Amino acid sequence: MFFRDARFLVGVFLLFLGACATPPQTRLVLDSPPVSLPRRAELAEVPYFAQDAYQCGPASLAMSLNAVGIAVTPETLKPELYLPDRHGSLQVEMLAAARRNGAVAYQLAPELNDVMHEIAAGTPVVVLQNLAFSWYPVWHYAVAVGYDLDSAEIILRSGPEQRQVLPMRTFEYTWARSGYWAMVAMPPGKIPETAEPNSFIAAVSALEKISGPERVQSTYIAALKRWPGNLSAQIGAGNTAYRLHDLARAEAAFRQAAQDHPDSVAALNNLAQTLADQARYEEALEAAQRAVSLGGPLAQTAQQTLADIERAMKK
Amino acid sequence: MTQQHSYFMRWTSRVVMLSMLAMGLPLQPAFAGIVETDQVVSHELAGQDRARINAFIDREDVLSQLQQRGVTAGEAKARVNALTDDEAHMIAGKLDQLPAGGDIIDALIFVFIILLITDILGFTKVFPFTHAIKR
């Protein structure tokens, strides 16, 4: 029912489109494709789950999770995702369900370019499309698994079609109406090709809260390698090591952070705490005093750390 | 009966209190002094959001729209600096929805600019973060 409706509407829609020009992102990528982007790519090995009516959310997420080695079926995801009275799944629920299954759920920048870069790097991309009109939305999740710049096409695992080939501009029109929503699910230790460091670390930290530090440790190590000077990556790596009682690694990360970002209260404070836990109070005291002297919104935490160290030294 | 009842209550409440204390204890000392990753990340992201809004204000087409309406880039940026992290994120998110590579001011930018300017000039009050210029 859903698909018959959707297809009819897409048909009607395409008639309208016939007269329109190529949408901006498609035009941009076809006219001046980035040199880093191969002419074509297809992830043929991404598994396919056919879907029942309205089940495109669980099916799409299951495909993307299985592609990175997390074995789930649409049926197991359904209770986490499907909202019966909405006949579908919300975007935030898609991200949360990926996380609950142990993946870092990262929302891509709203760029067609980035979707293709991810595919070229071997990562399938879950996309949200509005197949009809803004005033009569037919929402649909699919998995983008391939593209071809020469024939201007996008290849999707979509609903009942294992290999749907859409003209790039049609894809852009349907995707634009979802606000260019796209996500990838990453296994431990892997970073999306197009990831922006701070947004990615936010996604890792969100996973860490429900999975615990062990699951994300390798991802932080990879993040430090990719963005050596990034404060969020340094603090994240240090905090995770600290939680795993790997104080040497934590100390190294915080020390580097404090060196690269001398005005970061967080780096100095966490360094002080890590040193204090090793009973190296003199060094800890110095770091804590520097943290306190910087002031700012974290001043209270820094003062607390300093007071704790001073109390420990009196004992 | 009442005596028994109050004994029971007293002991139950003691057991419950102790077990709640015990649950809280082992976590407290170890992590007390650590600044969490998400605190750092949201601060970094907010800085990025502000930088993006400022870069938008610096665009030539946007600057000329501002100037035509008697608002300097400096005034607009002073407002950006006064945004809370959440507000900056909201505005930056709106900028994200602008078409990539578009070089003309489309309806969205236009509406955004007009509302921002009229807010600053004190004709409207759409954005919670703008403060009208006192004259």
Query: Which ipTM did the prediction report?
Result: 0.81
Q: With an 8 Å Cβ cutoff, are B99 and A25 in contact?
A: yes
> What predicted TM-score, i.e. pTM, was given to this entire model?
0.79
| Gap from A43 CA to chain B (nearest CA, Å) | 27
Judgement on whether residues B69 and B21 belong to the same structural domain of the protein? no
Domain count, chain B: 2
Is the residue at B61 inside a domain?
yes
Query: Does B80 reside within a domain?
Result: yes
Give B48's contacts in chain A (Cβ within 8 Å): 198
B96 touches chain A (CB under 8 A): yes
Print the domain residue range for B19: 2-31
Among A107, A239, A303, most B C-beta atoms within 10 A, so best to mutate, is A239
The answer to whether B37 contacts A270, with C-beta atoms less than 8 Å apart, is no
Contact A231 B44 (CB under 8 A): yes
| Cβ-defined contact of B38 to A277 (cutoff 8 Å) | no
Determine whether the interchain pair A110/B97 forms a contact, defined as Cβ–Cβ distance below 8 Å: yes
A197-314 — its CATH code?
1.25.40.10
Please judge whether B38 and A205 are an interchain contact, meaning their C-beta atoms are less than 8 angstroms apart: yes
In a domain, B130, yes or no: no
Residue B11 lies in a domain: yes
Q: How many CB pairs under 8 A join A and B?
A: 79
**B50 and B93 together in one domain:** yes
pLDDT in tens, chain B (135 residues): 455 566 666 666 666 666 555 554 444 344 568 999 999 999 999 999 889 888 888 888 778 877 777 778 887 787 777 777 777 787 777 776 655 444 445 544 655 665 566 666 665 555 655 655 554
User: What is the residue-wise DSSP string for chain A?
Assistant: -HHHHHHHHHHHHHHHHTTSPPPHHHHHHHHS--TTS-SEEE-TTS------TT-HHHHHHHHHHHHTT----HHHHHHHH-BGGGTB--HHHHHHHHHHTT-EEEEPPS-HHHHHHHHHTT--EEEEEE-SBTTB--EEEEEEEEEETTTTEEEEEETTEEEEEEEHHHHHHHHHTTTS-EEEEE-TT---TT--HHHHHHHHHHHHHHH-HHHHHHHHHHHHHHSTT-HHHHHHHHHHHHHTT-HHHHHHHHHHHHHH-TT-HHHHHHHHHHHHHTT-HHHHHHHHHHHHHH-STTHHHHHHHHHHHHHHHH-
Over residues A6-27, mean pLDDT: 63
How much is the pLDDT for A89? 75
Would you say residue B129 lies in a domain?
no
Q: Where are the domains of chain A?
A: 2-186, 197-314
Residue B127 lies in a domain: no
Please report which confidence band the pLDDT of residue A81 belongs to, taking 50, 70 and 90 as the band edges.
confident
A2-186 CATH:
3.90.70.10
